[in-house]
Amino acid sequence: MSAFLARGPKIFPGHFKTGIFGYRFTDSSSIVNMVEESEVKPEKVDEVVAQYGVEKVNRLETPKGVEYVLYRFRNFRLIRYLLNWGRMASLFPAHITTACCSVEFAATHSPRYDPERFGWLPATGSLRQSDVLVVEGTVTSKMAMRLRLVYDQMPDPKWVIAMGACAISGGLYAKDSYNVIQGIDDILPVDVYVPGCPPRPETFFQGILLLREKILYGGVA
């Protein structure tokens, strides 16, 4: 249950890429920070588009009012803390089931181990309104394309939990299967790894609590 938190040098506008094979860190939150810091000034838009293409340009529209205050002082500790607290206290997981661990995911939402008291609510079917992507179980090559599309459609900030042995490293099918991806590390940046086959609901719960700690403090104790 660990993830790297390396932060690289200050990034110049237009000099990075998002998407597959373009990121340098294995952590979703650092990708979010990269997006926030790499704006392109309006004068230089045409140049960057000609060089890198339309998808590689990130422009932040100038915020107004309260949003301007939050944006201008976003590195101050109190505001950062409040923003993080707001994000961690109401996580909405996206509903994508991949394989057999989905049974223990559903059992975690039973009345006995209740995650709603922590704000974790799998309420919507829409991807554009969720924060966390829980990859439960084995990812085959047919499903991997769709999984990447789903991750790209979620808005920032977003986090990824890899649940089960098959999502961490291929699991039970690590050597002999011709259709299984050996761990989702190659496709998505993962924040929390939850081991088990399938993990007990208590174990998955500990993963949720670790993710909350990580969002709030920027690291795990």
Partner 1 sequence: MSLQTLVGEIETRFTGVVIEKIVDEKKLVKIVVSPENIKSVALYLRDSLGFDHVKAVTGVDLSRLLKKESRIEVIYHLGSYTREELSKSDMALSTKLDKANPRMPSLNDVWPSCEYHEREVYEMFGVVFEGHPDLRRLLLPEYWMDMPPMLKEYEPPGR
Partner 2 sequence: MTVLERKEDVRKAEFYDVGEAALKVSYGPQHPGTGHFRLVVTISGDTVLEADPDPGFVHRGEEKLAEYKTWITNIPHLERPVILDSAGIQYAYVLAVEKLMGVEPPERAKYLRPIMAELQRIGSHLYWFALYGVFLGHSTMFLWCFGDREYLVDLTSLIGGQRITHAYFVPGGVRNDAPKNVPQELVKEFSRYYRMVTGKDLPLNTTDFRKYTLAVCEFFDQRLNDYWDMFFNNELFIARTKDVGVLRREDAVRLGAVGTTLRASGVEYDNRVNNPYDAYPNFKFEVPVGIKGDCYDRAVVGFKEMRESVKIIMQAVEMMPDGPVKAKQHPINIRVPAGEAVARTEAARGEMMYYIRSDGGDKPYRVKISPPSFRLLPVMKYLLRGEQIANIPPIYWSLNYWPVEADR
3-state secondary structure at position 52:
helix
Map residue 29 onto helix, strand or coil. helix
Q: Which 168-197 residues touch partner 1, going by CB under 8 A?
A: 174-179
Kindly tell me which residue out of 59, 146, 152, 156 binds partner 2, with binding defined by CB under 8 A: 146
Binds partner 2 (CB under 8 A): choice among 40, 167, 180, 211: 180
For residue 59, how far is the Cα from the chain centroid? 21
Examine residue 174 and tell whether it contacts partner 2 (CB under 8 A).
Answer: no
CB distance 31 to 189 below 8 Å: yes
Cα end-to-end span (Å), the chain: 12
Task: Count other Cβ atoms within 10 Å, centred on residue 57.
Answer: 18
Segment interacting with partner 2 (CB under 8 A) among 10-18, 28-36, 78-86, 176-184: 176-184
Question: Which of 31, 40, 91, 143 is the binder for partner 2 (CB under 8 A)?
Answer: 143
Q: Is 111 in the site for partner 2 (CB under 8 A)?
A: yes
Q: Which is nearer to partner 1, 153 or 179 (CB)?
A: 179
Query: Looking at beta carbons only, is 77 or 175 nearer to partner 1?
Result: 175
Q: In 170-186, which positions are buried (b, 16+ CB within 10 angstroms) versus exposed (e)?
A: bbebeeeeeebbbbbee
Give the binding site for partner 1 (CB under 8 A): 140-142, 174-179
